[in-house]
Amino acid sequence: MPPDAVLLSFGPKYRAPSGDRPNCLGMGTGWSTTERQETTLHSQQDDPLGSLSSTTLTWHGEADTEAFARALAAAPAVRDAFIALQGDLGAGKTTFVRHLLRALGITGRIKSPTYAVVEPHEAPDGLPIFHFDFYRFSDPREWEDAGFRDLFAGPGLKLAEWPDNAAGHLPPADLTLRIEAMTDDTRTVQLTAGTPRGHTLLATAAA
C-alpha cells in the first residue's frame, strides 16, 4: 500500500493503560473499550525539498513495530541520528526502543532509563546508543551537570522519550515518532523528518 493513503480499519478502540509511573495521577489501569471507528489517513507530503517529510504508519501489532525497527536499524543514517519519541504513557515508546536496540544487536536485559534519565548501550560493532527518558527531567542544571550536552554533541544514536520535557536543551530531532495507541495492539505512528538525515531515514525505513 502506498504511504500516502493508509487505510486504517480497526475495531474496539482502547484507552492506554497507566503504565508503571508511580507519579501518574488519577489514571485507570488496564485497557477499556470506548468506541469503534474506521477512517482513512493521508500522509503529509509538503516537503519543499521534494522528499517525504512526514508520513503516518499503522503498526497492527508488535511484529509491525519490530519490522519497522529492523528497517530503521538497517539504514546507515541511523548511526548518528537523534530520534524523538512522543506519545502518552503506555503508547509504545520504550517497546519500540527495545526492538530497535535488539535489531542493532544489543543482547541481554534492556533496562528502562526511567530513573537514570539515560541508559547507555554499545552495539557489537561499537555504535554508542543513548536511550533517554525525560519523563522526570525538570532541573535545567542537570542538563549540564549530567553531561547531556556532550552526549548529544558526540557520536552515536540518541533516542529520547518525553523530549518535550527537555525542550530548549535538545537539538532538533532528525526523526520524530508520535505513537498513539488505537487498540491494545494497534498503534498509529506519525513520522516527521526534521533534518536531511531524518529525510533519508524516512525515505529508507518508511518506504
Ligand X SMILES: Nc1ncnc2c1ncn2[C@@H]1O[C@H](COP(=O)(O)OP(=O)(O)OP(=O)(O)O)[C@@H](O)[C@H]1O
Chain positions contacting ligand X, by CB under 6 A = 19, 21, 59, 61-62, 65, 87, 89-96, 161, 185, 187
> d(Cα 124, Cα 85) in Å, to the nearest integer?
24
- 3-class secondary structure, 84: strand
Do 166 and 90 meet the contact criterion of CB atoms below 8 Å apart? no
89 binds, among ligand X, Mg ion, none (CB under 5 to 8 A by kind): ligand X
Decide whether 52 or 177 has the Cβ nearer to Mg ion. Answer: 177
Decide whether 93 or 121 has the Cβ nearer to Mg ion. Answer: 93
Out of 82, 84, 93, 121, the residue judged to bind Mg ion by CB under 5 A: 93
How many residues in the shown chain lie near Mg ion by CB under 5 A?
A: 3
Give me the least distance between CB of 42 and ligand X, in Å please. 21
What Å distances lie between residue 89 and 73, 168, 171, CA to CA?
24, 22, 23
4: phi then psi, degrees, rounded to nearest 5: -95, 0
94 lies in the binding site for Mg ion (CB under 5 A)? yes
Give me the least distance between CB of 93 and Mg ion, in Å please. 5
User: What would the grid cell of residue 97 be?
Assistant: 526502543
99 lies in the binding site for Mg ion (CB under 5 A)? no
Comparing every residue's Cβ against ligand X, the nearest one is: 92
Residue 177's Cβ-count burial label (10 Å; 0-12, 13-18, 19+) is buried
Please give the residue ranges that form the binding site for Mg ion (CB under 5 A).
93-94, 161
